[in-house]
Amino acid sequence: MKNRRKFLQTSIYGLLSGAGLTFSKAVLARNAAEPKGIVRQPDEGETYFVREHTPIYIKISKRTDGIDSASMCTEEIIPGGIIPVHKHLHTDELFYFSRGGGLFIIDDKEIPVTAGSTAFVPRGTWHGFRNNTSETAVFSFSYSPAGFEDYFRQIGTPQGTPFKAKLPEELKMIAERFGMVYK
């Protein structure tokens, strides 16, 4: 198996170089490596608070797990809480609601969601969420490609440290760096 992988890496590197394309052997080797499966338990992963009562749990991430194709996070939104309407310029997003509900905003439509609802948001699509119920909404969401989860590391406060909100100018700079636009 190792010899086959080395052959493929060498062949691809030669083919691309011959075509005038340059890729480092390290990049090709990393992408040709066989992916490893990951299982995270409910209490595993990283937790960041993006608002004082809004935790985001990073479960699968490009940075910690070396996965380029997708990441996975979970969020809790208290009654009356919102995710402001925004769009991602470089990532698709997939949601699954496991508890509670509210109104999912996609483009200019408000669509009621409950436990068991799913939503797919292609890059460049306006979306948001408003918990208009009396129960905390819990949902998982995934980005493809992975990497956007670093946004929460930059705007959030790690669990176990006193919450410190970012200034609006800081939030705007971080959003721009990650290809996120607010309406």
Interval 14-73: pLDDT, tens: 434 444 444 334 443 444 456 689 999 999 999 999 999 999 999 999 999 999 999 999
Distance (Å, whole) CA 130 – CA 139: 13
The number of beta carbons lying within 10 Å of the beta carbon of residue 119 is 17
Q: What are phi and psi of 82, to 5 degrees?
A: -140, 160
Tell me which H or E stretch contains 173: helix 168-177
Mean pLDDT of the chain: 87
* Peptide linkage before 55 cis (omega within 30 of 0): no
Contacts of residue 152, Cβ cutoff 8 Å, sequence gap at least 6: 48, 50, 56, 58, 73
Please check whether residue 2 is in contact with residue 10, taking contact to mean a CB–CB distance below 8 angstroms: no
As a whole number of Å, the CA-based R_g of the chain is: 19
User: Cα-Cα-Cα-Cα dihedral of 17, 22, 24, 25, to 10°?
Assistant: -10
The share of the chain scoring above pLDDT 90, in percent, equals 80
Contacts of residue 127, Cβ cutoff 8 Å, sequence gap at least 6: 85, 86, 87, 93, 104, 105, 106, 107, 119, 121
Distance (Å, whole) CA 71 – CA 123: 15
pLDDT tens per residue across span 78-123: 999 999 999 999 999 999 999 999 999 999 999 999 999 999 999 9
Q: Is this structure's pTM higher than 0.75?
A: yes
Q: Can you give the pLDDT at residue 174?
A: 98
